[in-house]
């Protein structure tokens, strides 16, 4: 029996007999379970593509043949088969393997694809490039989950792929009947019919694509035969492989929620403490809906991850899952609002990027009362650059008429949600991070709707805290107070529009600073600085946020430290920014704030 650690690349895999290749499957599954239960990660999807991944690398010659993954979270087996077995223990860790394809890791990772429904557009572009360059000996293969077929981009790509029979693209449809949860919609129903007896002509054939299958995706020889046949056709073809998410791991197979789609790292499995931000939102929405029969909830194939499971159980007719189709979700929400309802669209912050045009021109232009609830906002960490929610504040600041809140704790999240749903003169949005909500941070005073979290003994620095950066800002205030610097910490709660009263507070201080875990360009800091400029204020402003580049995967604390968003770093920078000559003790105090801690 071959040992998995002997497979250094696809060429070693192709040298094996079919029986020897099959013997690798249980070893791979065991490695996946052992690894993901420690590091966390997308276990269920990868357990389902073991035989399929082996077959792909035995039939096609990666990296010359381009194998694209949609979405990339199902590429762990691909990583193992392309020489990264020993490094798998570092999965999703700072400096370790990414949880998605990563071009810096391997020449076999063609695209860094972590958002669904895009791989077929990549495939169409690559196939066109090969044709223009006269490269006729390279295959383009896209592995697409059935959930990705709920996204509009997939059909835009198929429209072009099918119209060019001379350009071969192999579409491997990994049909496990699920995205996170069971796949919804007419396409899912069509695939279910194709899996049954007396199947009709496949929709793909009606579009002009060749169609092979359905094939048992766990029968390696059958998959290999279908892939060889597809490659020989030299035209666009769909190979329909039926797989089981979570295959080979009993606990995953018996999990009806999402078949262990994503499991938490062992270090994250702690005793119950503060509730998660997601669960706080979910419970409050259920309570709010009891008093507001016009409230409906929309999700894009992420009912449980966005906290809507209980809402769906209580109000099934008021719960809408559109599949992996954020653009449709947002414009459909505008239609619901036009029809007299108040939609609450629950998305991960990073996925709102995909529907910005619909938010701008379908929702905001029509002043539709739609509430957007953005989970996993800010620095999320281990899912890598595509999942850090560091763009939402910058994008939302561009939208006329939209009101935006960043709760600092569970109490202000509950309050903001109710205020958002009560607003009927345009869209609202609120954002919160991944993880536990932590302890509530009470205000010591309220001024014109602005929460005062700390009053300094002197009006030296006004520190504007955005959302969950409140605890850090309070620590900054403590560090500066020890140096004789008075710091007033405020949380506007509603950060767009910028309150005129905040400008009044700013003018009473020597320096204004803002702290947010969003990109610095176009974020809250930039908007506050613009408002001060418009008011012809001349006092200095410092804006602290995430550097405007893609952050590698790692823990939230590591990424915040690398971004300079720790209390010690912020305090020292602010001390050095104070107006010259204003504080005689400043130079003597600076060494005690030397960097090196959180």
Tell me if residue 516 is catalytic: no
CA distance between the termini of the chain: 50
Q: What is the C-alpha to C-alpha distance for residues 75 and 68, in angstroms, rounded to an integer? A: 9
- What 438-443 contacts at long range (C-beta under 8 Å, 24+ apart), as own/partner pairs, is 438/274, 438/409, 438/410, 438/468, 438/471, 439/274, 439/409, 440/409, 440/410, 440/411, 441/408, 441/409, 441/470, 441/471, 441/474, 443/491
Task: State how far the Cα of 434 lies from the Cα of 364, in Å rounded to an integer.
Answer: 27
Q: How many CB atoms lie within 10 A of CB 47?
A: 27
Quick check: bond before 71 cis, omega within 30? yes
The residues near 144 (Cβ < 8 Å, ≥ 6 apart) are 70, 119, 120, 154, 171, 172, 173, 174
Tokens (6 digits) for 413: 């999240």
Could you count the other beta carbons within 10 Å of the beta carbon of residue 515? 25
Q: Which of 51, 326, 408, 527 is catalytic?
A: 326
Residue in 462, 546, 475, 443 with CA at minimum distance from that of residue 509: 462
Give the C-alpha separation, 535 to 82, whole Å. 58
* C-alpha to C-alpha distance for 593 and 598, rounded to whole angstroms: 11
DSSP-based three-state secondary structure for 283 = helix
- Quote the tokens at residue 350: 């990073």
Catalytic: which of 66, 79, 93, 245? Answer: 245
As given in the structure block, the two tokens for residue 306 are 């966005």
CB contact at 8 A, 166 and 131? yes
**Nearest CA to 99 among 434, 386, 389?**
386
User: What order of strands is seen across the sheet that includes strand 428-431?
Assistant: 319-321, 295-299, 342-348, 371-375, 428-431, 403-405, 494-496
Catalytic residue (one of 66, 178, 318, 354): 354
408 φ, ψ to 5°?
-95, -20
Is 245 one of the annotated active-site residues of the chain?
yes
| Cα dihedral 251/256/259/260 (nearest 10) | -70
**CA 371 to each of CA 102, 281, 346, 361, 429: distance values in angstroms, whole numbers, following the listed order:** 34, 13, 9, 15, 5
DSSP string, 334-348: HHHHHTT-EEEEEEE
Number of H helices, E strands in the chain: 24, 18
- Which residues are known to be catalytic? 245, 326, 354
């Amino acid at each position: 029996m071959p040992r998995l650690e002997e497979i250094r690349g696809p060429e070693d895999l192709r040298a094996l007999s079919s029986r020897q290749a099959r013997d690798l499957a249980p070893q791979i599954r065991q490695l996946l379970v052992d690894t993901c239960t420690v590091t966390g990660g997308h276990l269920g999807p990868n357990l389902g593509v073991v035989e399929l991944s082996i077959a792909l690398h035995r039939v096609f010659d990666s990296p010359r043949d381009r194998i694209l993954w949609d979405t990339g979270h199902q590429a762990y087996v691909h990583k193992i088969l392309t020489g990264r077995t020993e490094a798998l223990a570092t999965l999703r860790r700072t400096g370790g393997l990414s949880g998605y394809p990563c071009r810096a890791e391997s020449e076999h990772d063609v695209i860094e694809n972590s958002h669904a429904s895009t791989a077929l557009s990549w495939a169409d572009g690559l196939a066109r490039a090969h044709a223009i360059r006269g490269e006729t000996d390279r295959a383009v293969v896209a592995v697409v989950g059935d959930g990705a077929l709920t996204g509009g981009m997939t059909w835009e790509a198929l429209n072009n792929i099918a119209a060019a029979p001379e350009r071969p693209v192999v579409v491997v449809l990994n049909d496990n009947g699920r995205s996170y949860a069971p796949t919804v919609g007419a396409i899912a129903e069509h695939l279910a019919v194709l899996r049954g007896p007396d199947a009709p002509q496949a929709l793909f054939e009606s579009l002009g694509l060749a169609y092979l299958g359905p094939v048992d995706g766990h029968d390696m020889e059958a998959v290999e035969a279908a892939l060889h046949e597809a490659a020989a056709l030299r035209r666009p073809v769909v190979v329909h492989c039926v797989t089981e998410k979570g295959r080979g791991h009993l606990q995953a197979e018996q999990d009806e929620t999402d078949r262990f789609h994503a499991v938490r790292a062992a270090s994250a499995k702690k005793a119950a403490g503060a509730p998660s931000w997601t669960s706080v939102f979910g419970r409050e929405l259920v309570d709010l809906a009891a008093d507001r029969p016009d409230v409906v909830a929309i999700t894009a194939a992420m009912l449980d991850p966005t906290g809507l499971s209980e809402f769906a159980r209580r109000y099934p007719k008021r719960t809408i899952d559109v599949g992996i189709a954020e653009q449709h979700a947002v414009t459909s929400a505008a239609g619901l609002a036009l029809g007299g309802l108040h939609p609450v669209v629950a998305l991960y912050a990073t996925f709102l990027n995909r529907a910005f045009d619909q938010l701008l021109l379908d929702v905001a232009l029509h002043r539709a009362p739609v509430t957007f609830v953005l989970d996993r906002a800010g620095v999320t960490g281990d899912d890598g650059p595509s999942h850090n929610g560091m763009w939402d504040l910058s994008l939302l600041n561009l939208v006329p008429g939209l009101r935006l809140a960043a709760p600092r704790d569970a109490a202000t999240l509950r309050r903001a949600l109710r205020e958002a749903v009560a607003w009927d003169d345009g869209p609202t949005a609120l954002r919160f991070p991944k993880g536990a909500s932590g302890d509530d941070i009470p205000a010591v005073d309220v001024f014109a709707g602005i929460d005062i979290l700390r009053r300094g003994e002197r009006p030296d620095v006004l520190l504007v805290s955005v959302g969950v950066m409140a605890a850090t800002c309070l620590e900054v205030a403590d560090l500066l107070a020890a140096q004789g610097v008075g710091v007033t910490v405020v949380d506007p709660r509603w950060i767009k529009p910028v309150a005129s009263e905040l400008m009044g507070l700013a003018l009473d201080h020597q320096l204004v600073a803002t702290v947010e875990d969003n990109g610095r360009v176009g974020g809250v800091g930039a908007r506050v600085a613009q408002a001060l400029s418009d008011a012809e204020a001349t006092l200095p402003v410092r804006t602290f946020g995430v550097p405007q580049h893609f952050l590698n995967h790692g823990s939230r604390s590591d990424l915040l430290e690398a971004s300079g968003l720790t209390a010690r770093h912020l305090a020292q920078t602010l001390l050095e920014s104070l107006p010259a000559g204003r504080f005689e003790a400043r130079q003597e105090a600076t060494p005690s704030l030397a960097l090196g801690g959180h």
